[in-house]
Amino acid sequence: MKEELIIVLDFGGQYNQLIARRVRECNVYCEVHPYNISLENIKEMNPKGIIFTGGPNSVYAEESPRCSKEIFELGIPILGICYGSQLISYILRGEVSAAPVSEYGKTEVEIDTSSDLFGNVSTKTVCWMSHTDYISKVPEGFRITAHTPVCPVAAMENPEKQLYATQFHPEVMHTQEGMKMLSNFVYQVCKCQGTWKMASFVESTIKELRERIGSGKVLCALSGGVDSSVAAVLLSKAVGKQLTCVFVDHGLLRKNEGDEVEAVFGPEGPYELNFIRVNAQERYYKKLAGVTEPEAKRKIIGEEFIRVFEEEAKKIGAVDYLVQGTIYPDVIESGLGKSAVIKSHHNVGGLPECVDFKEIVEPLRLLFKDEVRNAGRELGIPEYLVSRQPFPGPGLGIRIIGEVTAEKVKMVQEADYIYREEIAKAGIEGLGQYFAALTNMRSVGVMGDERTYDYAIALRAVNTSDFMTAEASEIPFEVLNRVMTRVINEVKGVNRVMYDLTSKPPGTIEFE
């Protein structure tokens, strides 16, 4: 599976993962490594190519991340991007200077299409620039292959040594022909074959899991989210009934979700595995009674999950393997030596301590999220599970402001269902995440001839590419209006609907 590899050396740029994803979109397996990984290590990995990322530093600053000159003597093609391109110039004795003004944004670049990197690219093409320093003189043996009116070296190369560099970012969407350039690097320069395909990943992973697990017993906490679903199906295909999946219905799932998960993974579903559904709704509602503070709710829900799971694990007894749905972005180490921020998966984070197991299996640890979805499709998992939006471990517990009660859960479930149904009917695509939340506000209304004093539902929808920042989506007014009418007519206890316009920051995506 790993016979063809390109590595990305991370110099602190914000697009390091994106570069790796783009290379994988070219069907070549790609990993991100810290910039100071040893040459020995690189030789062992035997990559077909190396990409240097951008970074916020200036090559002249003392603390700037650098690599050794010997990396250029390995005979492995290198592509430097932004800071990476300046670093190539700096180390090989070209010149880098500080520009009086930064060049930022979409910029038309003139391209020399005789370069292997720019085959089939237009002679004038829009690229994404984001730099202050620039290469003012190329190192010996290099030639300039692209420029802009203010950037004399927008790209350079030394084809004999297989060294290429772009000041702009081919990996970002705003660089119109960026994918062509990366594909040229992968295929024309690194001479890759393109063997990284989801079908072969799925097939080889199932085989590896089968060999590794042998006749061992495997336990998986199934949430119904994309990651745990795909992990469970991979294991089911590998070891069948040796796998037990425990699905805790905490009563804070979306409408019908518990039954949907059971329909796929339960005895009536297509997979061979042991499925245990724990209906723990009452337990959770009891624990949550009277609790209003959001962090306190999160804590209770997380701890209760561990207790429920622990009880089930005790019934099952010791197992050999515990499945974790870790994915590649959780694994990547930052190039600047800081440990990566790992999102605390509230629902599975504390499991290892409460289960008697020998080893952890993480069948998705090489995959990006979109690749996990593709693996799911490859495995034949229903599309509604595969394309599911992120759903927080604490579920609707953090989409209800104030105290959580069974009645409030029902209200938010119904409203959310209507909202999702209307969005689907309207055929709106490209929304990042959307859901209904129940505010803790009651206000006066009039329905028929009656006065009402009921709750307000807040609708939320955001566009986001990384979930770190987000903006409210522009949902057509008539769709919002339809949702409002239906929610007020169909959801008992609600007499007002609002749309949340807050971006992140300063807001968060969830409404808790």
Asked about 171 being catalytic, the answer comes back as yes
Question: The dihedral of CA 410, 415, 418, 421: what is its sign?
Answer: negative
Side chain identity, residue 309: F
- Ranges within 128-167 binding ligand XMP (CB under 6 A): none
x/- binding map, residues 69-98, to ligand XMP, per CB under 6 A? ------------------------------
Q: Based on CB atoms, which residue is closest to ligand XMP, 347 or 495?
A: 347
By CB under 6 A, the count of residues binding ligand XMP is: 12
Question: Does residue 415 contact residue 491 with C-beta atoms inside 8 Å?
Answer: yes
Least gap, CB of 143 to ligand XMP (angstroms) = 46
Q: Based on CB atoms, which residue is closest to ligand XMP, 173 or 468?
A: 468
In what helix (H) or strand (E) does residue 424 lie, and over which residues does it extend?
Answer: helix 406-426
3-state secondary structure 329-392: HHHCCCCCCCCCCCCCCCCCCCHHHHCCCCEEECCCCCCCHHHHHHHHHHCCCCHHHHCCCCCC
Q: Based on CB atoms, which residue is closest to ligand XMP, 292 or 508?
A: 508
Q: How many other C-beta atoms are found inside a 10 Å radius of the C-beta of residue 353?
A: 8
Choosing from 33, 169, 250, 345, the catalytic residue is: 169
Task: Say whether residue 504 binds ligand XMP (CB under 6 A).
Answer: yes
x/- binding map, residues 379-398, to ligand XMP, per CB under 6 A? -----------x-xxx----
Least gap, CB of 225 to ligand XMP (angstroms) = 7
Chain centroid to Cα 32, Å, comes to 15
Q: Pick the binder of ligand XMP from 188, 316, 336, 467 (CB under 6 A).
A: 467
Q: Pick the binder of ligand XMP from 64, 136, 281, 433 (CB under 6 A).
A: 433
Question: Does residue 393 contact residue 344 with C-beta atoms inside 8 Å?
Answer: no
Asked about 169 being catalytic, the answer comes back as yes
Least gap, CB of 192 to ligand XMP (angstroms) = 34
In what helix (H) or strand (E) does residue 275 lie, and over which residues does it extend?
Answer: strand 274-279
DSSP code string of 118-172:
GTT--SEEEEEEEEEEEEEEPPTT-EEEEE-SS-S-SEEEEGGGTEEEESS-TTS
Asked about 250 being catalytic, the answer comes back as no
Q: Based on CB atoms, which residue is closest to ligand XMP, 190 or 398?
A: 398
Coil vs helix vs strand at 185: helix
Tokens of 28: 């070549």
Q: Is the peptide bond before 506 cis (omega within 30 degrees of 0)?
A: yes
Question: The dihedral of CA 89, 94, 100, 106: what is its sign?
Answer: negative
Q: Pick the binder of ligand XMP from 120, 485, 489, 508 (CB under 6 A).
A: 508
Least gap, CB of 346 to ligand XMP (angstroms) = 4
Q: Pick the binder of ligand XMP from 346, 410, 442, 482 (CB under 6 A).
A: 346
Q: Based on CB atoms, which residue is closest to ligand XMP, 48 or 399?
A: 399
Residues interacting with ligand XMP, by CB under 6 A? 345-346, 390, 392-394, 433, 467, 504, 508-510
Q: Which residues are catalytic?
A: 82, 169, 171
